[in-house]
Structure 1
Amino acid sequence: MDIFGGLLIIFPASFIACVSAQQNPPKIHEGWWAYKEVVQGSFVPVPSFWGLVNSAWNLCSVGKRQSPVNIETSHMIFDPYLASMKLNTGGQKVQLIHYNHELYTNYTEAAKSPNGLVIVSIFMKVAETSNSFLNRLLNRDIITRVTYKNDAYLLTGLNIEEIYPETSSFITYDGSMTIPPCFETATWILMNKPVYVTRMQMHSLRLLSQNQPSQIFLSMSDNVRPIQPLINRCIRTNINFSMQGKDCPNNRVHKLQYRVNGWLLN
């Protein structure tokens, strides 16, 4: 299966129920950290050191609900009370700040949501065509405006429903943010089907830099936190594996697994 990586969309916990506009996007945590070692003349902590170099980031090392995790059938529980998920914006268009490293919508600031963050992980698969949302987001004229770290560009008139795959089935677990300070305030929702991205769009993403122009070029790849232990968490799903349906046509439950951080090599 050629599914890899993923697109993360962060919403306040109340997003599905209501929409609230804001004037300013959430402020990204400005930290001194990196995903992998790069020769820059000074030490920059990689994920294994995040929780050691800053006491405010200690959850990155000692937390019990860290993300991302591998999701396997043996740890999955069918929850009949998990309703099918369907995004309904009532046709309302949104603004989106295309920020090098992050994507933000113009909804209520996620960090202020009383119930924590809801993070939707949407897997992407290479195909000949892409949906209209990604066509705008990853258009070469747009993507080149966010080539370097901290570059930003405002997109308007987006229909957020277009990014969602055609499925109401999902998997969910309690987790954390995947960057320092690794707060354990996130509920992850993994959709059960991919969206499609073209090879040219993937190539455009790889031409982005994780660094600023004055620094060594570091491609927008391998920019993921390593897998974290599940410990005693439950992974719930609204997919009833005892019933064969359109979301699992081969019914090979024992083979089902979601491996995070995969990167397409060709």
Structure 2
Amino acid sequence: MNADCSPRGGGLLYWGLFIDPGLTSTPLPDFVIKRVSEEKISAFSIKTLHGAGETEGSPTSRPPPRPRRPPGPDPGRAVPCRAVPGRGGAKAGAGRAGRWRRCGAAPGPAWQCCCSGSGEPPAPWAAQVVPVRPYEDWWAYKESLHGSFVPGPPFWGLVNSAWSLCAVGKRQSPVDVDSSQVMYDPFLPPLRLSTGGQTVSGTMYNTGRHVSFRPEQLQLVNISGGPLLYSHRLEELHLHFGGHDTTGSEHRLDQQPFPAEVQLIHYNQELYSNASEAARSPSGLAIISLLIGPNSNPFLNRLLNRETITRISYKNDAYLLQDLHMEQLYPEIFGFITYQGSMTAPPCYETVTWVLIDQPLNITSVQMHSLRLLSQNLPSQIFQSMSDNLRPPQPLHQRSLCSNRPPHQPPHRCTGTRFRLHVDGARPAQTVS
């Protein structure tokens, strides 16, 4: 086992084919596309794809008759630029070639269309290319989403080459922490939290995958100390939880999962300008993980009370929260375990210094039940609980686990400033609301 406890930094989807015009300078082959109506084959269309341009024709010498223009305005229908009454005189777009495009309903009896550039209207029988879903939609914690297959954690590294670390990486997270393998490092300093002496405001989101809290951009919440060589700024809070109390956390302690886990995602503000750049770079991210057990916590009470949680019942819902005390999220006395790992979602970059707080937070059974009632879908879709939004533990692969607490020392025997969060201001009393 490595005994070093210091941080180590280190186009077109067409009938199932991925076509990148930039990979070849020769024209791509023609595709013959057949459209079958309810009664018979109505027409054929040859669509030749060459770079960004598109041309259409017919396999016969005479093209099929062009559909007639509708007699009046029809929002959403492609209409030609012709002489129409209204703005622009008798000839709308005189001197320019007519361009077919979608025109919305115009006020008044006259209907308008925009004339700029050139082009021909797509015939109703012409094949339409369905745009490719963005990569962000190609992964999920559950492999079945409202009737369709979406790659779950075992397949993340297979659907996109940029996510290959999810499958082949050797420093992946989360992990199952075996306390017998944790090494005591007496030189680890305590964690330091800096908020400028101010409370924190931000927005709570239902992202469809997590309950997320993002501080306002002008507010600085920084963490340092412990294994961190630089100051890291809080970017986002994620909440993972299970469908029942026997599972929910991504990390485990001695094979024991917890009902939920809070992850505070910070980026290295001294080396990088934003979280996206830091996530791809060595020593870029620091994530504080707080496991959750039964009982209550003042900070989580604000996040998970009935007034707040019911405002984010569905995907893309958001709710503004103000005057939060970040220091209330941490236990009064705690030790921590640190290791070098990765993001727990694609692209699984191995640029994360993890700090696991070894004292669980508290949450009530009512709050857990409220979390399980959150939907990962939109209101118009079938309800599916957001619960079980976690990645399974990954192999440790000879990585070292270090702790600031001596082995076999009970947490209640850990006293002194080494086992407290250092805050730039007075620490508020932990009152239960």
SS in 1 for 2:299: helix
Shift of 1:135: 1.4
Matched with 1:51 is 157
Q: Which amino acid aligns with 2:204?
A: H
Contact 1:124 1:197 in 2 (8 A): yes
- TM-score of the two chains, using structure 1 as the length reference: 0.75
Deviations 1:182-231 (A, max 9, x none): 11111111112122111111111111012222333221211100111110
Matched with 1:61 is 167
Alpha-carbon distance in structure 2 between the residues aligned to 1:32 and 1:239: 41
Alpha-carbon distance in structure 2 between the residues aligned to 1:244 and 1:207: 36
Alpha-carbon distance in structure 2 between the residues aligned to 1:75 and 1:238: 14
User: 209, 215, 229: which is aligned to 2:375?
Assistant: 209
Shift of 1:150: 2.2
- TM-score of the two chains, using structure 2 as the length reference: 0.47
Shift of 1:243: 4.9
User: 214, 219, 223: which is aligned to 1:104?
Assistant: 214
Shift of 1:242: 5.5
Matched with 2:34 is none
| Alignment pair present for 1:224 and 2:334 | no
Matched with 1:234 is 400
| Alignment pair present for 1:124 and 2:292 | yes
Deviations 1:70-116 (A, max 9, x none): 00123211111111224353532112321111232344553144731
Q: Which amino acid aligns with 2:138?
A: W
Structure 1 residue ranges, 4+ long, deviating more than 4 angstroms after superposition: 242-245
Matched with 1:150 is 316
Contact 2:333 2:414 in 1 (8 A): no
Alpha-carbon distance in structure 1 between the residues aligned to 2:320 and 2:188: 35
SS in 1 for 2:214: strand
Shift of 1:155: 1.1
Shift of 1:149: 1.8
Shift of 1:247: 5.0
Alpha-carbon distance change, 105 to 75 in structure 1, aligned in 2, over 3 angstroms: farther
Q: How many residues align?
A: 219
RMSD: 2.2
Q: Which has more radius of gyration?
A: 2
Alpha-carbon distance in structure 2 between the residues aligned to 1:122 and 1:243: 20
Alpha-carbon distance in structure 1 between the residues aligned to 2:181 and 2:407: 13
Contact 1:85 1:169 in 2 (8 A): no
Alpha-carbon distance change, 141 to 58 in structure 1, aligned in 2, over 3 angstroms: same
- Relative CO higher for 1 or 2, CA cutoff 8 Å, sep ≥ 6? 1
Matched with 1:38 is 144
**Which of the two has greater strand per residue?**
2
Unmatched runs of 5 consecutive residues or more in structure 2: 1-134, 221-232, 236-266, 268-274, 416-433
The 5-angstrom pairing of residues 135-214 of structure 1 reads 135-214=301-380
Percent of aligned positions with the same letter in both sequences?
57
Alpha-carbon distance in structure 1 between the residues aligned to 2:305 and 2:338: 31
Alpha-carbon distance change, 174 to 247 in structure 1, aligned in 2, over 3 angstroms: farther
Contact 1:177 1:186 in 2 (8 A): yes
Alpha-carbon distance change, 245 to 153 in structure 1, aligned in 2, over 3 angstroms: closer
Alpha-carbon distance in structure 1 between the residues aligned to 2:392 and 2:411: 33
SS in 1 for 2:193: coil
Unmatched runs of 5 consecutive residues or more in structure 1: 1-28, 250-266
Deviations 1:103-155 (A, max 9, x none): 3234455314473111111111112xx23211110011111111112222221
Shift of 1:246: 1.9
